[in-house]
Amino acid sequence: MANILIVAEQSGGELKKGTLAAVQLANQLGGGFDVLVVGSGVGGVATALQGYGAGKIYVADDAVFGNYLAQPFKAATVAAAEASGAKFIVSTAGTFGKDFLPRVAGAIGAGMVADCVGLAEGGLFKRPMYAGNIIATVKANTERVVISVRASEFDNASPVGGESPIEALSVDVGDVAARFVSFDATESERPELTEADVVVSGGRGLKDGPTFWNVMNPLADVFSAAVGATRAVVDSWDEVPNDMQVGQTGKVVAPKLYVAVAISGAIQHLAGMKNSKTIVAINKDAEAPIFQVADYGLVADAFQAVPEFIEKVKAAR
């Protein structure tokens, strides 16, 4: 019997790195962990996780899990939680975990610690509140606890060797009330925002959608970076899709390098990027709050500074 069950996040049969942050939390909690892999054609994900020290890897591999729907994923997680006997059920805090984990908590009568950023003494958990301005220390009073992990706050666990046994899990998903209709994925050659080592983000100072891309594309190219944006941008310009939003109500990122171009630095934006390892800000207003979190700040017009910055980076290589 393991203390923890980790529900792996995968997309199209590829393991998402955030799962390894969940493994890291499990290592800190201690007591051993099992893993659940849910999807269709996800044998490779289970194999990829075999060297991380799980007691067992449950695999619910069925066409019914091929296109994500919360209800079947909840059913699989509840079944795996029963099989494993785990006290803590853990997954990532992105859109995946946000959608199905509360249903798991409801189904098994567990308390929920959402957006866990660390552990505190005495079996307590840390989580951000008020756009990350306060870190609350919370206690779950229930016997079992569901936890979503903010991946940007944990290092990825390293392999420990060994080969965890894989066990097929049969799941009765029951009557599924929702029906999968379609999935409109944004096609991009660039890395995924939450997985990228470098993120370059643009703000409203970039004037309009086409100009945003004229400035940001070459900058992203030079760093092989993911491109992010502020809410002001995704709300206003059709050319910049919503899934690029970084911030409190967007994605939370903590890359090695975050370049903020013509972004004022509103607290809701900072909530999504201020833990980046190195922050570079380019803004023509020296008083812009983004400079308070920036490691390197350039007070300049982005339309002039970004092309010069790109040339300097290229020349330095």
Ligand X SMILES: Cc1cc2nc3c(=O)[nH]c(=O)nc-3n(C[C@H](O)[C@H](O)[C@H](O)COP(=O)(O)OP(=O)(O)OC[C@H]3O[C@@H](n4cnc5c(N)ncnc54)[C@H](O)[C@@H]3O)c2cc1C
Q: Judged by CB under 6 A, does residue 158 bind ligand X?
A: no
Q: Judged by CB under 6 A, does residue 19 bind ligand X?
A: no
Choose between 87 and 204: whose C-beta lies nearer to ligand X.
204
- Look up tokens 């890897």; give the residue: 57
Which residue among 195, 285, 295, 311 contacts ligand X (CB under 6 A)? 285
From residue 302, how far is each of 199, 248, 287, 296 by CA, in Å?
A: 16, 25, 15, 15
Closest approach of ligand X to the CB of residue 10, in Å: 25
> CA-CA-CA-CA torsion for 253, 50, 224, 244, nearest 10 degrees?
-40
Closest approach of ligand X to the CB of residue 201, in Å: 8
Which residue among 74, 87, 144, 204 contacts ligand X (CB under 6 A)? 204
Which residue among 53, 128, 132, 205 contacts ligand X (CB under 6 A)? 205
Which residue among 92, 152, 245, 276 contacts ligand X (CB under 6 A)? 245
Q: Which residues have C-beta within 8 Å of that of residue 249, sequence separation ≥ 6?
A: 231, 268
Closest approach of ligand X to the CB of residue 299, in Å: 9
Query: Which residues in the 247-276 window bind ligand X by CB under 6 A?
Result: 247-250, 262-264, 266, 268-269, 272
Closest approach of ligand X to the CB of residue 224, in Å: 23
Segment near ligand X (CB under 6 A); pick from 87-95, 103-111, 198-206, 215-223: 198-206
Q: Judged by CB under 6 A, does residue 94 bind ligand X?
A: no
Instruction: Say which DSSP state 244 is in.
Output: G
Q: Judged by CB under 6 A, does residue 219 bind ligand X?
A: no
Q: Which structure tokens are listed for 226?
A: 């993911």
H-state helical runs in the chain:
18-29, 43-48, 70-84, 95-108, 209-223, 231-236, 267-270, 290-293, 302-315
Closest approach of ligand X to the CB of residue 228, in Å: 9
Q: Which structure tokens are listed for 311?
A: 């040339």
Q: Judged by CB under 6 A, does residue 232 bind ligand X?
A: yes
* Residue 293, CB-side half-sphere exposure with 13 Å CA sphere: 21
Q: Judged by CB under 6 A, does residue 284 bind ligand X?
A: yes
Q: Which residues have C-beta within 8 Å of that of residue 225, sequence separation ≥ 6?
A: 190, 191, 196, 197, 198, 199, 200, 219, 257, 259
Q: Which structure tokens are listed for 198?
A: 């470098």
Cβ atoms of 209 and 239 within 8 Å: the answer is yes
Q: Judged by CB under 6 A, does residue 292 bind ligand X?
A: no
Q: Judged by CB under 6 A, does residue 98 bind ligand X?
A: no
Judged by the rule CB under 6 A, the positions of this chain that interact with ligand X are 203-205, 230-233, 245-250, 262-264, 266, 268-269, 272, 282-285, 288, 301-303
